[in-house]
Every structure is written in C-alpha cells, then in structure tokens.
Amino acid sequence: MTITTSPGTRSQPGRPPGPPAGRARRDRGVRLAAGCSLWGSLLLVTSWWAADRGLQDLTGWADALTSLGRLSGLVASVLLLAQVFLMARVPLLEAAFGQDRLARVHRWVGFCSFDLMLAHIVTITWGYAGGELSQTPATGWNLLVEEPGVLLAGAGTLALVAVVVTSVRAARRRLRYESWHLIHLYAYLGVGLALPHQLWTGQEFTGHPARTVFWWAAWGATMAAVLVFRASLPLLRNRSLGLRVTSVVQEAPDVVSVVMTGRNLHRLPVEAGQFLGFRFLDGPGWMRNHPYSLSAAPDGRRLRITVRTTGDGGRRLRRLRPGTRVLVEGPHGRLSARARTRRDVVLIGAGVGITPLRALAEGLGYAPGEAVLLHRHQGTPLFAREFDVLARDRGLRVVDLPGPRRAEGSWLPAGTPPIDDVTALRHLVPDIARRDVYVCGPAGWTADVRRAATAAGVPAERFHCEDFGW
C-alpha cells in the first residue's frame, strides 16, 4: 500500500475561531430538559396509576390484569407521543442530539412503546374477561364494536405493526430506503388512531382536571410539532428558496454531483457536514424523500450534493436536467462544527462517505496542522483536485489510503503492512487522542473506525459519526 500525504501550507495569517462553546452549553441544556421531560412524564403517570389503587388491585387475578393493563397503557401512551415528537424534526432536538443519536433513541422508544401497547391490549382485555382466558376473544370483540374509539385504536395498532415489522433489521435490509420511509410514515397514522379512545374513555385521562390538561397538552404539543416542523416550515422554506438544478457533473463512473441554486439560500440554516432531504420534481416518484449530505460548504449561493448512482434515487440523478425544481427538508445531522470540542480535528471517510467530510474540510476553521483527512478509496479518489487546493490554501493534511478493505473487522485498505488498526491509526495521526474525530462511511466500516479510535484514546464525546445505515 502506498500512502500519500499532502501537508499543505499556510495562506492566511492568524488562527481560526475556536469551537462554539455557547452552542455546546445550549445543546447540553436541551438534552437535559428532554430527558427530564420524558422521565418526569413517566413518573407522573405512574404516580397517578398508584393513586388510583393500582398497587392494591394487584392482589386479585382479574383486578391485577386490569391494573397492569392500565399501567402499560399509560406508559405506552407517553412513549408513543415521545416517538412522534422525535420524528417531528424539531430543530432544537436535532441540533442537540444529532441524527444518529436521535435515531437510536427513537428506535428504543418505538419498540418499547409497541411492546407495552400490545401488553395493554392483552392484559386489559383479559382482565375485563374476569381473568378467564377462554372469554378473552369474545370480550375483545365486544370492546372493539361497543367502546368509543377502540375500533380506531385497532386500526392504529395494525398501522404500527406494519411500521415495527419493517423496522426490524432483517426486514430493513430487504427494503429499499424509499419503501421503508413511506411505510414508516404510517407511524403518524397509527399513533393518531391509537390514542383518542384513551382521551375519551380512559380513567387516568378523564378522572381529574389536572390529568385531562396534561394529556391534552401533551397531545396538542406533539401534533403542533408535527404540523409546524414536518409540514408548515418545509412548505414556507421551499416557497422562499425556489431551488432548482443548475448542473449535473460526472465525478466518477458511478458518482455524480448535483449543483443547485435558488433565492435566499443564505437564510437556509445549514452547515458544512449536514444533510437535507431532497425531492426532485422530475416526474413520477418525486414525492420520495432522499437524504443526501452536502459535498461543499454552503456559501449562500448554491448547494452541492455528490451521490453514488445506485438504487432508484441515484439513477434518477443522472437524468436530471438543469431547471428541475427541487424541494428540501432539513437541515439534519450533527456532523458539523456544532459538535466540535477541540481546535484539532481528524476527518476519516470511505468511498462516497467522503462527501460531508469534503464540506467540513472547506467549512471548518483551522490553521495548518490542525486538520487531517484520512481518505480510504478504491480507484480514483473523489475530490482529489479540491483536496489539493485545500491542502495548499488552508493547510489541510490529506492522507490517501487506496485499495479495497483489508478484511471484515478492519477499517484499513488491503496492502497495509501487518499492523493492527489501532497502531496504524496512531501512526497516521500520532496525537489523535486529543483531536475531534469526524467519520462517515458504511455502517460496518465506521464501527471498526470507532473501535480503533476508542482504543487509541479518543473519548466518546469527541467521536462524531454518520454512517449509511437506516
């Protein structure tokens, strides 16, 4: 393996501004407030359950089933609303947590709320049947056709089943991203249909004015977040931007860059390293949202994405014509200056995962020697000339790591000398333990980089990752 390095030289005097400490404090405050709100709500509804003889009712079989059904329903309701809120693209939450972390929380909350919702259905129906298992199906049918809102809740449950089944990793691997994303939107329908019967008839929802206010406020805030941040804000923003395709540039045999311009792009609050959801109005299928990272730092005049032309979305980009209208949603992600805690950074990317790191290499402030790029690639590296310019003008040190992956479990390319991943990382960046590390690439590869960086002394809060997994 041949490793080539571009050391770069200083072109401008002085040192760049340091990490944004004020934003870091605000983000920590948002994370703390979000965690306290969720756990506080769970404790509150549990205390209401206990105050309504929830514990005393556990002594008898039928009463215990009913009591556990009430508790599981209350907790599931809080988590279902939290799940929707996490999907609402609230800018404060996205900036504070980042997409990767928010997705993990959303996944955990989603599966927990679904399991508890099923537990609620089974235990409450079994309890209403007097604890007689043989009478449970008939009791369930009676509840379905006689109780207000229960039929809607049944339809909502089916919608949530579809979402959960397609969210299991084995199923996700068999689905296109576009199909998975469309099915995932049924979560809104499922939650919208599953909760009204509790607001109408549930004892813990309607038995006390304070409880009624709490639940309606939680429901209203969640729905308002969806309407504002998922619907109204993108609509108003796109009307203002008027974004259109300017050109499509072939970067490699299977990679293209799409350049877009519009009005008021300086008002779009996007940073280098972030991604947006794009819809290209070029014909059938335009409603599908495709998440793409910017491959150049936003300058208020244009946006550029660089995409591998595999899959339906990528192949369509080849055929885009100048003037095609573009709708955007976002920005999303925390792989940006917002996550930075140190002046010194190292950017590690593989394949087309280099795109957000290319934007970061341009958009971050740094002096010569403060930024290092490790670029693993096969064939001709993307943005080679642009990185040469950044090395010359900004002092970016570029390390090329050509060749296919050495083996599963290693982030290094084939042909690397027989040394382990950690030793290689320390050799390439001796002071990596005191740097911020930004990584983007395939999920398995980024996990290997994370293990090596952790072993090399990089703490979790200074490892910033965005992979291709969904």
Q: Which CATH number covers residue 395?
A: 3.40.50.80
Instruction: Clarify whether residues 251 and 372 are in a common domain.
Output: no
Residue 73 and residue 184 in one domain: yes
Number of domains in the chain: 3
pLDDT at residue number 151: 67
Token pair for 65: 């089933």
Question: What is the pTM (predicted TM-score) of this model?
Answer: 0.78
Q: Residue 265 belongs to what domain range?
A: 243-332
Q: 119 and 212, same structural domain?
A: yes
pLDDT along the chain (470 residues), means of 10: 48 45 79 91 91 84 86 88 85 80 80 84 83 81 71 70 65 60 65 69 67 86 89 90 92 89 91 91 79 91 89 76 92 87 91 91 90 87 90 91 81 80 90 92 87 91 73
Amino acid 207: pLDDT: 64
* Cα angle 105-156-52, degrees, rounded to a multiple of 5: 75
Which residues on neighbouring strands pair with residue 347, listed in sequence order?
Answer: 373, 438
- Are residue 55 and residue 74 in the same domain, yes or no? yes
Interval 149-185: pLDDT, tens: 676 676 677 767 766 666 666 555 665 665 666 666 6
pLDDT of residue 10: 40
Q: Are residues 215 and 247 in the same domain?
A: no
Mean predicted lDDT score pLDDT of the chain? 82
Residue 13 confidence (pLDDT): 36
Structure tokens at 130: 């007097």
Neighbours of 329 (CB within 10 A): 19
Are residues 200 and 299 both part of a single domain? no
**Res 272: pLDDT:** 92
| Residue environment code for 374-406, b if the CB has 16+ CB neighbours within 10 A, otherwise e | bbbbeeebbbeeebeebbeebbbbbbbbbbebb
Residue 9 has a pLDDT of 43
Chosen domain end from 207, 237, 267: 237
Which residues face 438 on adjacent strands?
347, 464
pLDDT at 161: 72
Q: Do 271 and 382 belong together in one domain?
A: no
**Which of the listed residues 303, 332, 361 is the one where a domain comes to its end?**
332
Instruction: Supply the pLDDT for residue 15.
Output: 45
Are 140 and 222 members of one domain?
Answer: yes
Last residue of a domain, one of 314, 332, 350: 332
Q: What is the CATH number of the domain that holds 326?
A: 2.40.30.10
